[in-house]
Structure 1
């Protein structure tokens, strides 16, 4: 038997204004469980229940199902007894049945990724007891068929046999509706529902080979373990990987007494947001259905109605519904149930003020009685994220630090996504209109199945409605269009969380999966046809529409100014062109942390001169080619330095192996031979001469400058002469020359001496000087370990984490894609180390090098310029170990600025 301490560790009860937990216990109880406990304490009407902790999920995955059930048995029995006492019902009773819901609940919202079972406890006897108790046969049989359907799908794994097939349960429902000539599930009568239960059970038995379980306790344990199992299902793993949610967090299981929104015309259920999740406007909004349960609202099986009168009128106007039809067929909750609406409206205001954040709430009305089922911080777009925080600040509910900590840095990329070009959209033809579920613009080719979203470079996923299994395809697609579902549907909520353009509930869209066709007003669209979506207006257009860069809002500027106020870490850009530099300045860069000069050599006359140098047989020939390249290189660098006037620019000397500048297919080799005036055999021989077994570990970086010092000389001249010319124009520059890939002090010393010789000569010739630095890129593990010696020769360190990760792990960046997804899936790695810095291993090398370097030279400037410079967790690491700056691509600069501020505040 378990001790009381064991009970407390695994099961926490709530309800009747008391609870074992509270909202501060999200790590243990999950977000849903912690908030249910908090609402109970606050006196908000919450159906009683209990939460099995996230730690138990970890135990479950370690010691297995049977052992965990044994550990939980006594605690759960005690908790069920509390629910029975509170509700005046008995679990497993045939006369007065207590029915339960079993839901998942992780620390952070994972909408639809894990499993839920409602109406648990129904069987052939309890349905009779429910009829006797309520006098409502239709409600009882509707509840029974819902349970069999959900338990069959979630716990028993009953599903469509092929992806072209309809959900088998829904197929049965549709057959009954066709036979009766009705449109809605709520129009099915008792006879239909009774037979449907039998058909559903037969389907379960056919697919599983076992009888459908009748014992409520068997149903309960199967559902609890199914929720634990769902933490490790493919869609949950994919979502966790995408959102960087650790596997070890686990999920809680929330078991609650059922309250019923399907008991007739005075019952219903809904989902609402205390503010607009798309725009951030301070407007209470949401959707509900009469005579329904929660899954009906989010699944899109029926057209949901708006909660507020204002929202109802706005929805009707956008959907083309007349005012008369709106009032009769789609009235708002505010009009239909004013008392319930008033209670809901009061509750949402209390919850938002209590949590100081926009809330996503779920509620049920059972025969006029109002119940809250959930509250959580709502998923929102980047624009809404900023506006809500700024408005809460203005309302005095939060302070500046909280404004910054409420932001998700990675979501800022949404704001930089393209929008439709104004002129192009004028000529576009609108073919359908749905709900503006998630803003933005998307243009692409139609795909009908999530696992085929990769088929086209730009794809639009078109579905009747999405399900959690569609997550990966939704992430790949440029936009999502659904025929059914409202603003709180799965497609809408997940798309907003992803920052993905989505139009939902486009009722005129008819999807046929078998023929792979979409029909709109008799016009047929096939797989591969181009369509465009406007997630801000809900409009669907025929064909491809030109897009343009998004425009930054005043809210964005406000958040960035706040971030700059609190951050310590500098933020620079990786940029090689004037255009990139201007974008970098636009997004707040404080300089260039990496100018990859080789990127300047891949086009036009530049690559001709590089190839001429490569084909030269001796130093004289190489110098002749480099002399031709010098004025071009000087001008390119001059444009970069001019764009970044008064800001530091770190210029990396030539880094890649020379083979990258020569074509490897025969057609391009012939073209090169013609352009260079040599034979094809000469080109082939040079390709062979430059061939290396491991080119990324071969003749590249400082090794090029050491073997061909004339390359370093030319680049030194180009950099310094460009800076001097700009000085003569009155423009101040700060070039920082970076020597790449050093592994020994002698390599750095030789290149530095050569650079200084050339630079001093230029200063003498020109009779003028500029300030400059000479430093190195730390990207070889050995360099990290001798950083104290390297610092004697370097003015700065810049960590090239792409190569450092490659060499530290022994993973080829070009080939790791073959096994990294499997490594992540199997839990060998938590995330792709080329995207998220490995702080345990590679991070230790960086920290060692930083400490050693500063031990030699206390004012040594240190930064990072790999792709990790724009990853929030990596930015926080750089702040923690005391770096001076991070550098990233121009479009990730806002992310780095915000992440740096959050790191400072934490």
Structure 2
């Protein structure tokens, strides 16, 4: 049986359905579904994603039989519409649009009004009785086609259009006449011939196949590749192509086009939210060339007449469709519609992009409304989205200088240096600067700069503009349509009233109010209550994996507890050594010439370490705390700058040269693989003895004096062979028993190790004989497995990811095929020797959603991550359970 490559939809009948998104793409599947539930959808057909895959496999050639299928389905559209493609008297015009299975707003190409030429335009004039409309549609088609299919710089034709408006003394496209548009079509086609070296195609069939090829080709354009990389969308998925009968929103004042969301995509509030334009085509709404009007006055911000007022019958029909779509899809929908001569048509529905705040509110509200159950509500919120909620907002008490106010397109509060191009934003971000990307309006080509920037500010565009939709999807703060600023790319500045803001100046955006402020405005921590709390209750009900935090101070421990941490998975004691009140004693210990000198210095440090541990144990209130003994090499604690060396020499009453000699002696060419971790503990056992003593004294004091129940988990780092752990464990047990005897109390404690070397993973059955727990240090395990330095890999790792040499940065998301397999092997081997051994992960991967799911799948007991990522890990752990079911 021959493969089927084309699926038809129209007049209430569709060959596809919503569940076929992988084959038909999101747009095609939902056009079919809307047709099947009798919504007014212009007829058309979808060319499947399989064709895209074949297209690239076969050097951009189509599979056999495709052209015949397309022609057969085109005839079906002609029959339904009562028009003929390419007919001079009664021509059918079509749109050609992309449609990947994952929403990629604005990343790929679209062509409208296809089928127009010097002959068929006369048929459109006869049909519409509107010569101005016909030639406007024709010039739009030439502009789109020459850009998308013929590869011509679209600015060349835009310049011709601007000159025409200057000649006629008008500002808006709508002020041009039929004669103006007719003249522009001729000028456009002449410019195409001059620039591209070939005539603009007159044959509608040639136009159609040129457009289909261009849409498939756009799957591999730079912005689509960047978007896929940022959103983890596989290249092999491909895109579908949708060919659909045109309906026109620009045939007069009884026509319109618009974009709407069934709920507010920024806040999640349950009201119909959207924008429209009278006498406009779809691209006019998102481009921001004209100020969009609200579909209703629910939010009360716009003074422009709403669709509810201007077109009440169509608005009420749209309200009814809103209800149908939410009940059918059981999710917030992003819809596109066109009104032609008073008749409403649906052009798209898809699950709408939303902010984290909106995602949570919508999920909780829909559970309350009975549309979905709790499990579905948990799955509706992406773990990576939560990052938007877990960071500060503007301090309401702070002084601020408000320059102007735009639309609150995507919430959040950010400060940064102003830049005016996407390339600048990316370049500045790479060297660690925080930037705000300021544009008249963004386009899909700006995707890389939008990703790099802290926030986005545009002078044009509405709440459904490209900037707004993409920023919400990325979780970026965005203020759009800020008409109070005048952006000048040439001078790299923008004006707001009498204030000039230049490139490099700092501004602050508040995406929740739309305010743009001069300078940096202080922030306050997030308040996570209400719907967030309800969602996290559901999350904790379903997850199995425990979530701890990486914290080195009582303050960080407190923050993590507030975010729901169930203990500390990594307390890095070396961070305590760097504190100003103890670094001198640490340096004295390092530079001592004998054991006696080191012990004198360590005696100064122990009360400080003990105080740290008491504070952390108190904040954890009896929850488990894993404390890693000193890990980095000693030279890291010594000064490197000459002035600091001289100051230390003076305080220690030694010569600067003697100090330099000691620093030189301790210097290591590759400290990551040098004299650190357990190697330090073995050569200088008094250091680890001091730390174990501080831990146990803190635990015993709180147990004896304040009634705490504490089980300290003492972690020995960088073990490669079991004998290292065996000797250090014996030392630690000796100190623990001495301390408990001295306090007259008995407490349980665990001694384990961090698995961060491939040899340790491969010999985990041996190591487990001496370990009560394993904590996987996946940061170092990644370095040692790949042979990569995390500090240096930034010079080339982005190239590896962009070139698909690696699917993701292995320091961000766990390399499950390599590093992950070592973790899995170590777990399996460890359990064979010590049944019930406690297993956790404490590398930064503990806060990465896909890595958390992997940890669940291989049976770890917990993950540990930074405090602000604890809720992300909790939600990912719940997803791991629910997805598996």
Residue 177 of structure 1 deviates from its aligned partner by 2.4
Distance 2:208 2:677 in 1: 63
**Aligned counterpart in structure 1 of residue 845 of structure 2, from 854, 865, 868:** 868
**Aligned counterpart in structure 2 of residue 244 of structure 1, from 232, 237, 258:** 232
Equivalent in the alignment of 1:107 = 101
Is the contact made by 1:644 and 1:733 (CA closer than 8 Å) also made in structure 2?
A: no
Alignment of 1:88-127 (within 5 A): 88-127=82-121
- Aligned with 2:298: secondary structure? helix
Equivalent in the alignment of 1:347 = 321
**Aligned counterpart in structure 1 of residue 311 of structure 2, from 337, 341, 346:** 337
Equivalent in the alignment of 1:643 = 619
**Aligned counterpart in structure 1 of residue 639 of structure 2, from 635, 650, 663:** 663
Distance 2:354 2:729 in 1: 51
- Aligned with 1:647: secondary structure? coil
- Aligned with 2:552: secondary structure? coil
Equivalent in the alignment of 1:904 = 881
Structure 1 residue ranges without an equivalent (≥5): 161-166, 317-325
Distance 1:293 1:671 in 2: 71
Is the contact made by 1:30 and 1:251 (CA closer than 8 Å) also made in structure 2?
A: yes
Is the contact made by 1:642 and 1:733 (CA closer than 8 Å) also made in structure 2?
A: no
Equivalent in the alignment of 1:134 = 128
Equivalent in the alignment of 1:452 = 424
Residue 70 of structure 1 deviates from its aligned partner by 5.1
Residue 603 of structure 1 deviates from its aligned partner by 2.3
Indicate the larger mover: 203-212 or 146-155: 203-212
Q: Does residue 1:821 correspond to 2:788, yes or no? A: no
Structure 2 residue ranges without an equivalent (≥5): none
Q: Does residue 1:880 correspond to 2:874, yes or no? A: no
Equivalent in the alignment of 1:433 = 405
Distance 1:207 1:799 in 2: 60
**Aligned counterpart in structure 2 of residue 493 of structure 1, from 469, 472, 477:** 469
Q: 1:564-614 deviations in whole A, cap 9, x for unaligned?
A: 011111000000001100000000000000001111111213222222222
Equivalent in the alignment of 1:50 = 45
Is the contact made by 1:464 and 1:484 (CA closer than 8 Å) also made in structure 2?
A: yes
- C-alpha spacing 1:71/1:606, structure 2 compared with 1 (3 Å): farther
- Aligned with 2:357: secondary structure? helix
- C-alpha spacing 1:87/1:573, structure 2 compared with 1 (3 Å): same
- C-alpha spacing 1:707/1:207, structure 2 compared with 1 (3 Å): farther
Alignment of 1:754-793 (within 5 A): 754-793=731-770
Equivalent in the alignment of 1:534 = 510
- Aligned with 1:604: secondary structure? coil
Is the contact made by 2:645 and 2:660 (CA closer than 8 Å) also made in structure 1?
A: yes
**Aligned counterpart in structure 2 of residue 29 of structure 1, from 24, 28, 38:** 24
Distance 2:647 2:422 in 1: 42
Distance 2:171 2:538 in 1: 53
**Aligned counterpart in structure 1 of residue 373 of structure 2, from 378, 393, 399:** 399
Distance 1:352 1:716 in 2: 59
Q: 1:742-795 deviations in whole A, cap 9, x for unaligned?
A: 111111111111111111122222222221100111111111111112111111
Equivalent in the alignment of 2:301 = 315
Distance 1:684 1:96 in 2: 90
Is the contact made by 1:450 and 1:474 (CA closer than 8 Å) also made in structure 2?
A: yes
Indicate the larger mover: 787-796 or 181-190: 181-190
Residue 830 of structure 1 deviates from its aligned partner by 1.0
Distance 1:396 1:777 in 2: 47
Equivalent in the alignment of 2:148 = 154
Alignment of 1:683-694 (within 5 A): 683-694=659-670
Is the contact made by 2:285 and 2:465 (CA closer than 8 Å) also made in structure 1?
A: yes
Equivalent in the alignment of 2:608 = 632
Distance 2:652 2:216 in 1: 66
Distance 2:187 2:600 in 1: 85
**Aligned counterpart in structure 1 of residue 489 of structure 2, from 504, 509, 513:** 513
Distance 2:633 2:183 in 1: 72
- C-alpha spacing 1:446/1:80, structure 2 compared with 1 (3 Å): same
- Aligned with 1:791: secondary structure? helix
**Aligned counterpart in structure 2 of residue 304 of structure 1, from 292, 295, 304:** 292
Q: Does residue 1:368 correspond to 2:342, yes or no? A: yes
RMSD between aligned alpha carbons? 1.7
Residue 624 of structure 1 deviates from its aligned partner by 2.1
Residue 192 of structure 1 deviates from its aligned partner by 1.5
Indicate the larger mover: 10-19 or 352-361: 10-19
Equivalent in the alignment of 2:709 = 732
- Aligned with 2:581: secondary structure? helix
Q: Does residue 1:79 correspond to 2:73, yes or no? A: yes
Q: 1:75-124 deviations in whole A, cap 9, x for unaligned?
A: 22222222222222222333322222121111221111122111122222
Distance 2:190 2:661 in 1: 72
- C-alpha spacing 1:309/1:642, structure 2 compared with 1 (3 Å): closer
Equivalent in the alignment of 1:214 = 202
Is the contact made by 2:54 and 2:63 (CA closer than 8 Å) also made in structure 1?
A: no
> Aligned residues, how many?
878
Indicate the larger mover: 634-643 or 280-289: 634-643
Distance 2:499 2:194 in 1: 39
Q: Does residue 1:569 correspond to 2:557, yes or no? A: no
Distance 1:833 1:277 in 2: 32
Query: TM (normalized to structure 1)?
Result: 0.94
Distance 1:684 1:102 in 2: 71
- Aligned with 1:417: secondary structure? coil
Is the contact made by 2:409 and 2:472 (CA closer than 8 Å) also made in structure 1?
A: yes
Q: Does residue 1:145 correspond to 2:121, yes or no? A: no
Distance 1:377 1:300 in 2: 23
- Aligned with 1:262: secondary structure? coil
Distance 1:207 1:885 in 2: 62
Equivalent in the alignment of 2:360 = 386
Is the contact made by 1:12 and 1:52 (CA closer than 8 Å) also made in structure 2?
A: yes
Distance 1:232 1:553 in 2: 43
- C-alpha spacing 1:182/1:614, structure 2 compared with 1 (3 Å): same
Residue 71 of structure 1 deviates from its aligned partner by 5.3
- C-alpha spacing 1:516/1:729, structure 2 compared with 1 (3 Å): same
Indicate the larger mover: 887-896 or 779-788: 779-788
Residue 69 of structure 1 deviates from its aligned partner by 6.1
Is the contact made by 2:704 and 2:745 (CA closer than 8 Å) also made in structure 1?
A: no
Indicate the larger mover: 771-780 or 630-639: 630-639
- C-alpha spacing 1:483/1:764, structure 2 compared with 1 (3 Å): same
